[in-house]
Structure 1
Amino acid sequence: MVMKNHLYSLVETACQKFPRSIAFYEKGQAYTFSEFEEMCKRKVQWLSGKGVKEGDFIALWLVNGVEWLSWYFSLSRLGCTVVPINTRYGKKEIEDMMVKSSPKALIMQKEFRSKNFLNLLSSVERHAVESIDVIYCAGLNFSDSDELNEMVFFSDDSLSECCGESEVSSYAPVPNGSLTSILFSTSGTTSGPKLVMQSQSNLVTHANNCAKFYGLNKHGMTLLAVLPFCGAFGLNAVLAAFSGGAATVIIDALDGKEAALLMKKYKVTHLFGSDDMYRKIIDSCDEEKPFPDARFFGFGAFNSSFHEYAVNAWARGIPLFGLYGSSEVMAIFSAQDDSMTLKERIKGGGKPTAGDEAKIRIRDIATSNILPAGESGEIEIQSPTNFTGYLDNDEATRNALTEDGFFKTGDLGYIREDGSLVYESRMGDAIRLGGFLVNPSEIEDVIKKVPNVLDVCVVAIQYQEANVAIAFVKESQESEGLENQVIDACKLNLAPFKVPKYVFKVSEFPATSGPNGLKIQRGSLRNMAEAAVGN
């Protein structure tokens, strides 16, 4: 009998239901669910032999792959908390994650493409890794001794000695589902990111809900996993596919052309990702209808207006649906459905995968009153998959929750009459103009229709004792008088207080790279605007 509140139950259940079905495709190799379970068993045996036990924090520093997932499930089977390290991190970010979590062990790979993780680890301040007793490094050979910095490493040979034939249950009791399974990193400030704790049972519940909601439990479904597993967006999607028995095609880093080819080869039906990711994949395709097997492609718009691009994608048979989610309530928490008009279908938000068990309400930012349908305010959520807190940060946890247990998302949105959610923007991205709270995408949508405008991002700054809009524009080709064309278009289509005071041309927007893709740094744009106008 499988106890279903711990993460490893997904593996046991999948092997009971469809042992010989394909769980993963990676680099042309297929892995069945039963083969994947054997990989996990071998790792559980190895970890147990190294003294890893329930309650330990273990850092996982690997690129997307079957290995990442098998280590993760194995560590969950032992009741460990996984600290996923983003492979794009630099020295300071790695030090911050290590200091905050104090992992007992580190599982890593030697390198990926041009980045040498072993060299990077050797540069990390010693105090940041002093908690680590065990390091496993895939691809390690002992000619790398100069980079080992006196730390003791285990290599592939050590792991291969485990036969993988023993029953997992002989190594440890079944873990309690309330144990923290993983720490997701939020966007940080100067103090570094907060670490979001999600329990094993939360992840299981969400995976099962998503499998049904998105149709990943139907025969013949295939997911393309693109986003890094170290983030909620990437991990939640692959766990949902695993729960539903769908095959997952894994790529270790996004290349638009490679992703498009794999989608055609494996008849991919489902894809989840950012607007930036979709642009790279779709723009690599010349065919009028490039993905005939597509069923549900969910997206989160993290940058400037994606509306027109999504409309054009639907015209090519690419079924893009707006999503909503976060590390605190889980990624792909909700989605729009095809009963909506196209205009509504491509807005962020939608109906929760948890159905009536999830409660969403909107709070007025000025009065703190709960708002009726159609009125914008801060989104608050209470659901079965709400996070259990921020690691070692009780104050931040208290500040993130209402007295009755709703998570204060920091996002702006409203509820439709049917109860579904519409996400508008981060509250920090919303701008106050003429005394009104304005979603910058409203202005960006108008500007994107101006000829030769490739992309735009609108921010607000204080100028001569009033808040004004400032537009930063990327050109598709160099053109004269573009600034005046942008302002004229806004004057024609928008209220006067929404018309940008200035329009600046840029070659690129300042952006940060995270597990969900690129995010424009609107704060940096505001600083640039203030400097340009002499504030």
Structure 2
Amino acid sequence: MNFATLLERHATQRPDAVAFYDADQPVQYSELLAESIRVAGLLHAQGARQGDRLALWLPNCTAWLATFMACARLGITVVSMNTRFRSREVGDLISRGKCRWLAMWPSFKGLPFRQILGDVDPGQLRGLKAVMVVGEASEEPLVAGAGSFHYSDAAPADALDGVPQAPGSAHALVYTTSGTTSQSKLVVHDQQTLISHGHNVARYFGMGPSDAVLLGAPLCGAFGFSSALGGLAAGAALVSSPVLNPAECAAQIQQRRVTHTFANNELLDRILDAAGAQDQPFPSLRVAGFASFAPSLEDLPERMEQAGIKLVGLYGSSELQALTAGQSPDAPLSERQRAGGHLVAPEARVRARDIETNEILPHGEVGEIEIRTPSLMKGYLDNEAATAKAIDAEGYFRTGDLGHTVDDRSFVFHARRGDFLRLSGFLVNPLEIENYIESLDGVNNCQVVGVAHQGKTVPVAFVIAKPGHAVQESGIIAACKAQLAGFKVPLRVGVVASFPVVESANSNKIQRGKLQEMALELLNAG
């Protein structure tokens, strides 16, 4: 199946049903279909063709969904970009993604998207043919050498005449995810894989056409988009806003009678706080799936239980899709609150492998989790070597996570293998931050660690200056703010003469535990 067929089916069977609440604005399935066809015609008239790639740099809004659906109809691959990205990340994705088109909202909420784009190395934008502008019209070119047109422009009446719908096998979406190098990997999924995953999510979590799903994460990432896939597959209503505000989310759950939501524990905690002293604040909410991104909120499961809300642990990744697994809402709380759960696809399988002997482990023993599931990516974009390394000959994806299996279709997640950081809900390789800081004038070496601070994990950097150079904490932080997403910016930077190491016969290994202790001292002192 392709997305055009899915959308047409809903629009034909239930044309007046709401597909998306864009804040307070309801958009019916018939309206979303018409909007996606108009945008597809507009893109095609501008020269967009099957196989092209479009960088989608928008917040959660109708234009995001309509543009994605339009691209799916034409067979254009969407490279999804986080609105919190800054020039370094934006340029990298547009360049490595080989994007010919960019959709953006330059004036959204007064944020400096135009300036961010202007700070990108012009060489990284040479492949762009045109920018589709959402919101206020742009009087000046946004990218030198590239044209621009407005999202709301009318498409020629015959723009799609003779243009076939792209098949379900056409690549549809690219997520970004941290890899083993400083550059993020680009994860490709095709239309039929995404739609099939949506149906499995809807079936497992009991979503139907009369339900409503609150999007507790941005559509640009696997967490938010997988939630949307479940709702779209079921023909339910999606509920969201361009900016996730806990008080607004609480009101939307009540007003739209939301039945399902999937979010990080910090947002759910704030939504519950926004409900105030109400005894049962969200009677319509049947399932609240969560990922534990804020380490200090260990009491959230009990608080949600007292409020009459079924909180369930989840598991997923960009490569497998979010919501690949989830705990059963019917299980006791002690089991429901664990990360992991049952694989939502009936044919999916999981196993654990010993990280030292490479042997498959019996159920209950901790090893690296490997999963085979139909929601698996098609591969890493333009990177066959990385794809082959991540997926074995039997089709199992090596997750890089540690856990134990309960049976062939369920498991418990324990921890991430390696030193990746979970910052503001996003998985970040500290090497990405380290490499940028090491590119700054006067910096010789850098190490970044994550520590718990005020209820969430934050990055702290330590640098060694080049001989004869003096580096300042304020200057490094300012440079990071200008070039990196806010959640990647170190909260403190310590300038040290050397890093603590432990000596061995083979190498001197940096003591990251000691660096974390030093980071906490810095935070407490500042």
Matched, 1:19 2:15: yes
CA distance in 1, matches of 2:105, 2:389: 37
> Which residue among 156, 162, 178 is the counterpart of 2:155?
162
Matched, 1:92 2:88: yes
Matched, 1:128 2:124: yes
Gaps of 5+ in 1: 431-469, 475-505
Contact residue 250 and residue 272 of structure 2 kept, 8 A: yes
Structural mapping, 1:265-414, within 5 Å:
265-286=255-276, 287-304=278-295, 306-355=297-346, 357-414=347-404
Matched, 1:67 2:63: yes
Counterpart position of 2:431 = none
- The TM-score normalised by the length of structure 2 is 0.79
- The TM-score normalised by the length of structure 1 is 0.78
Higher mean C-alpha displacement, 277-286 vs 236-245: 277-286
CA distance in 2, matches of 1:100, 1:293: 44
1:42: how far off? 0.6
> Which residue among 144, 147, 153 is the counterpart of 1:152?
147
CA distance in 2, matches of 1:314, 1:32: 34
CA distance in 1, matches of 2:107, 2:513: 34
> Size of the alignment, in residue pairs?
450
CA distance in 2, matches of 1:57, 1:197: 12
* Residues 234 and 133 of structure 1: CA distance in aligned 2, closer, same or farther (over 3 Å): same
Letter in 2 for 1:115: L
1:263: how far off? 1.0
Structural mapping, 1:190-201, within 5 Å:
191-201=182-192
Equivalent position SS for 2:72: helix
CA distance in 2, matches of 1:320, 1:285: 16
Counterpart position of 1:180 = 171
> Which residue among 70, 91, 108 is the counterpart of 1:112?
108
The share of aligned pairs that are identical, in percent, is: 33
Matched, 1:425 2:415: yes
CA distance in 1, matches of 2:8, 2:514: 51
Counterpart position of 2:252 = 262
CA distance in 2, matches of 1:406, 1:129: 36
CA-to-aligned-CA distance 1:364-393 (integer Å, 9 cap, x gap): 112111111111111101111111111122
1:417: how far off? 4.7
1:521: how far off? 9.3
Contact residue 297 and residue 318 of structure 1 kept, 8 A: yes
CA distance in 2, matches of 1:222, 1:67: 20
CA-to-aligned-CA distance 1:138-187 (integer Å, 9 cap, x gap): 22435x4275545421125xx43227x7696x342232222211110002
Counterpart position of 2:233 = 243
1:18: how far off? 1.5
Contact residue 226 and residue 251 of structure 1 kept, 8 A: no
Contact residue 451 and residue 520 of structure 2 kept, 8 A: no
Contact residue 78 and residue 174 of structure 2 kept, 8 A: yes
1:293: how far off? 0.7
- Deviation above 3 Å: which 4+ runs of structure 1? 146-151, 165-168, 470-474, 506-509, 517-526, 530-534
Matched, 1:216 2:207: yes
Structural mapping, 1:407-486, within 5 Å:
407-417=397-407, 419-428=409-418
CA distance in 2, matches of 1:146, 1:409: 43
Counterpart position of 2:222 = 232
* Backbone CA RMSD of aligned residues: 2.9
